A and B are shown apart, each in its own frame.
Chain A
Amino acid sequence: MTLLDVSGLTRRFGGLTAVSELSFHIRPGELLSIIGPNGAGKTTLFNLLTGIYKPTSGKILFNGIDIAGCKPYQATRYGIARTFQMTSIFKQATVLDNVLIGQSLRARVGVWGSILRTPATVKEERKTREKAREILSFVGLADKENRLAGNLTEEAQKRLSVSMALATGPALLLLDEPTGGVNLEEISGLIDLVGKIRKAGITICLIEHKMRMVMSISDRIVVLNYGKKIAEGTPKEVANNEEVIKAYLGARYAA
């Protein structure tokens, strides 16, 4: 049983092959981390999975459906949500509105219902707001719903971007460096949040540079270098892999 099954995935930009013949899979409920040096193709991989880039070749099976080359909004509707490396939120909107927009793909509201304030629309909007508040309290931002998102701390903005992705109702959540740019003291809180999301039954794929964090929370790790998979396995297996040590520290450190 696999949730995501990637095979032979390749993406070229002119002469550069950013992702090359990549194959891996993610099982439901698992936490898989993607690691690798800068420029290894990790974010490109996320962009391929979410339809921002079209693959040059290869397959992406999600729940058995080939979603390679679909549009970004379609990938989200299939159940793949993501956060971005550069925290992406609507800074001029309130925290609650940010989550509402994340949820709107599930809300049944139309123009005429909104203009005439039909009971069905009013009820739907109330339901959507309640759901958004639930998500905000899940990520620990319940007391900040009326704040402008841009006025939150970097750590709270990260939480908000995660809650927006959660609002879309994903089966698979792709987190691109969720602790990047956050104070050391605040990282453990974000790690707890990742664990909480996992407990809620959402499968997670994580890009991270902080090795200690990756080693402690991942079920399995895929290591990329120059767009190719050089290792895959449990944290222990990967840590002892010669190819991985070579890629990170240079050839002379390998035994």
Chain B
Amino acid sequence: MTSQGGMETSRTAYPSGTIAWCLVLILAVAVPPLVGGYLTSMLILIAIWTIMCFSMNLIYGYTGQLSLGHAAFLGIGAYSFGLLTVKLHLGFWPAFAAAIAITGLFGFLIGIPALKLRGPYFILVTLGFAVIIGVIVIAWIDLTGGANGLAGIPRPDPIPLPWGGKLRFDSLLNMYYFVLVFLVLTVLFCHRLIHSLVGKIFIAISHNENLTESLGINTLSQKVLSFTLSAMLAGIAGVLYATYNIVISPEVTHFARGMDVVAYLIVGGAGTMAGPMIGTFILMAVPEVLQVVPYVKTLINGIILMLFLIFLPSGVMGGFNSTLGKLLKSRTG
């Protein structure tokens, strides 16, 4: 009987969750045409960084491996896409696919030695990796253009519409919807992955790696898998960033951008599906609403992060879920 009670709570919680996701999607589709171009450009950046945050959620929130080097994967995705289109004149979609593959390959190759290390040692290796990639991007001027950046990156190819005409991406609004499609795909990807047996193994590793290993699972290869997938998601964010901005500079690979994402995730709630959306939105929108200068923005984000770490370390969603759990318990009990 008690087990049935558990099933009931999940059954009642599930539709309300689906309704919430649908509402968010409707808002995300309907609101931008009503607001100005400035807010739309802000929303594009928020959507791109939310994809980054889902990437961090996969490796840190669900698999339990904190990476401080994810800015490197964003940078690798952005620069591979930029170089393939600008220097090798590859088409938009082939370059997009190749950039994701290249980023995934970097994740795979770094992941194998790095994930043999545990805890702080792994974190330090990822940080070192981001710093190295950042230096290479600045110093290899012949390839990347160094501090001047890389210009002339194309917007997405126009997509022919079935009723004639073409969907072009030179307007901010259409660019926003382009990014939104990838955000929705990212959410679906993560949702299905986390609810599959593969996802359950990732979560098991984050809870108790030794026990998972003793159950016959090669935890190293599973962690490398998670890290590679996470790098590929970061690569997608990188490509979107590059095609939206048209110009990229070494700033995108700065390791501090990777730490920002960790902060977004912690505030939103690591290891939850809604966490990346809520955290990224709060930490990117609040300083924007307050209209502050960049270094004060960092200060505000630092304060928000500290308040969360002290009072609500499981983030907005973690707090929401435990409150919901208490409410349901008190109602049934």
Interface contact B197-A90, CB-CB below 8 Å? no
Which of B78-86, B149-157, B163-171, B207-215 is near enough to bind chain A?
B207-215
- Given contacts A93-B204, A93-B207, is CB(A109)–CB(B217) below 8 Å? no
Contact B207 A109 (CB under 8 A): no
Contacts of B291 in A (CB 8 A): none
Q: Write out the residue numbers on chain A whose beta carbons fall within 8 Å of the beta carbon of B215.
A: 73, 76, 81, 101-102, 104-105, 164-165, 167-168
Which of A77, A88, A121 has a CB less than 8 Å from the CB of B211? A88
Q: Are B200 and A100 in contact (CB under 8 A)?
A: yes
For the complex, give the distance between the alpha carbons of A168 and B189 in Å: 28
Would you give the 0/1 interface string for B1-29, flagging 1 where the beta carbon is closer than 8 Å to chain A? Answer: 01110110010000000000000000000
Q: In the complex, what distance in Å separates the CA atom of A53 from the CA atom of B15?
A: 48
Given contact pairs A114-B197, A147-B2, A105 touches B216 in the complex (Cβ within 8 A): yes
Give A79's nearest chain B residue, CB to CB. Answer: B216
Contacts of B89 in A (CB 8 A): none
Verify A76–B189 contact, CB threshold 8 A. Answer: no
- Give the A-B contact count at a CB cut-off of 8 A: 101
Selected from A97, A115, A121, A168, the residue in CB contact (under 8 A) with B200 is: A97
Q: Are B196 and A125 in contact (CB under 8 A)?
A: yes
Is the pair B200, A104 in contact by a Cβ cutoff of 8 Å? Answer: yes
- Per the bound structure, the CA–CA distance linking A255 and B291 in Å amounts to 89
Q: Find out whether the CB atom of B198 lies under 8 angstroms from the CB atom of A114.
A: yes
Closest to B10 in A: A146
Q: Is the CB of A90 within 8 A of B3?
A: no
Q: How far is the CA of A148 from the CA of B329 in the complex (A)?
A: 14
Q: Is B201 an interface residue (CB 8 A)?
A: yes
Residue of A nearest to B201 (CB): A104
Q: Is the CB of B208 within 8 A of A90?
A: yes
| B193 in contact (CB, < 8 A) | yes
Min Cβ gap B326→A in Å is: 15
CB atoms of A73 and B216 under 8 A apart: yes
Q: Does A203 contact B (CB under 8 A)?
A: no
Chain A hits for B3, CB < 8 A: 143-147
**Residue B203 is within 8 A (CB to CB) of chain A in the complex:** yes
For chain B, give the interface size range. Answer: 20 to 34
Chain B window 256-267, contacts with chain A (Cβ cutoff 8 Å), 1 for yes, 0 for no: 000000000000
Residue of B nearest to A117 (CB): B192
Q: Is A128 an interface residue (CB 8 A)?
A: yes
The closest CB in chain A to the CB of B189 belongs to A115
- B225 at the binding interface (Cβ < 8 Å): yes
A92 adjacent to chain B (CB < 8 Å): yes
Beta-carbon contact of B196 and A104 below 8 Å:
no
Q: Bound state CA distance, A71 and B215, in angstroms?
A: 12
Is B218's CB within 8 Å of the partner chain A?
A: yes
Q: For A101, what are the chain B residues with a Cβ–Cβ distance below 8 Å?
A: 200-201, 204, 212, 215, 217
User: Contact check: which of A92, A111, A144, A146 meets B198 at CB < 8 Å?
Assistant: A111
CA distance A149 to B303 in the complex (A): 37
What residues of chain B lie closer than 8 Å to A110, measured between beta carbons? 198
Closest beta carbon of chain A to B5's beta carbon, Å? 9
Contact check, A82 vs B216: say whether CB atoms are below 8 A apart: no
Interface flag for A28 (CB, 8 Å): no
Does A107 make an interface contact (CB < 8 A)? yes
**Residue A50 at the chain B interface, CB threshold 8 Å:** yes
Q: Which residues in A have their C-beta under 8 angstroms from that of B218?
A: 71, 73
Give 13 pairs: A residue, B residue, CB < 8 Å, sorted on A. Answer: A52-B214, A73-B216, A73-B217, A76-B214, A88-B210, A90-B207, A90-B208, A94-B6, A101-B204, A104-B200, A125-B197, A146-B3, A147-B2
Interface residues of chain A, those whose CB is within 8 Å of chain B, are 50, 52, 71-73, 76-77, 81-82, 84, 88-94, 97, 100-102, 104-105, 107, 109-111, 114-115, 117, 121, 125, 128, 143-148, 164-165, 167-168
